[in-house]
């Protein structure tokens, strides 16, 4: 793709809020949610030469946000952060419920 910058800006504008909302569901912290999504977009930009922009990127972005949120919750748990273990448990339960719902919708 010749103009990565314009496409990337549009991708960011279109999906920033839904990705932040997903991160917030997991970490229950607005600032951390925004940081997660910004980190995901930064990583995508840094690897733009390796990315196939002809494929849908939204599923990739949601998975990356989910993984970063889990990493954050794990780090809170290991650092002994405020209720990191509880948040990780809630996150895992949410992911399992989401997976079951997706499986049900597919069948």
- What is the tens place of the pLDDT at every residue in 20-35? 999 998 888 899 999 9
Angle at 22 between CA 30 and CA 102, to 5 degrees: 165
User: DSSP assignment of 68-93, as one string?
Assistant: HHHHHHHHHHHHT-TTHHHHHHHHHH
- The pTM (predicted TM-score) of the whole model is 0.71
Query: 107 falls in which pLDDT band (50, 70, 90)?
Result: very low
């Amino acid at each position: 793709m010749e103009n990565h910058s314009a496409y990337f800006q549009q991708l960011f504008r279109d999906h920033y809020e839904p990705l932040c909302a997903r991160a917030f569901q997991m970490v229950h912290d607005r600032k951390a949610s925004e940081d997660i999504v910004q980190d995901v977009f930064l990583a995508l930009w840094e690897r733009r030469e390796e990315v196939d922009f002809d494929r849908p990127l939204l599923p990739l972005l949601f998975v990356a946000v989910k993984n970063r949120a889990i990493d954050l919750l794990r780090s809170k748990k290991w650092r002994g952060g405020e209720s990191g273990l509880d948040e990780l448990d809630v996150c895992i339960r949410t992911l399992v419920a989401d997976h079951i719902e997706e499986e049900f919708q597919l069948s």
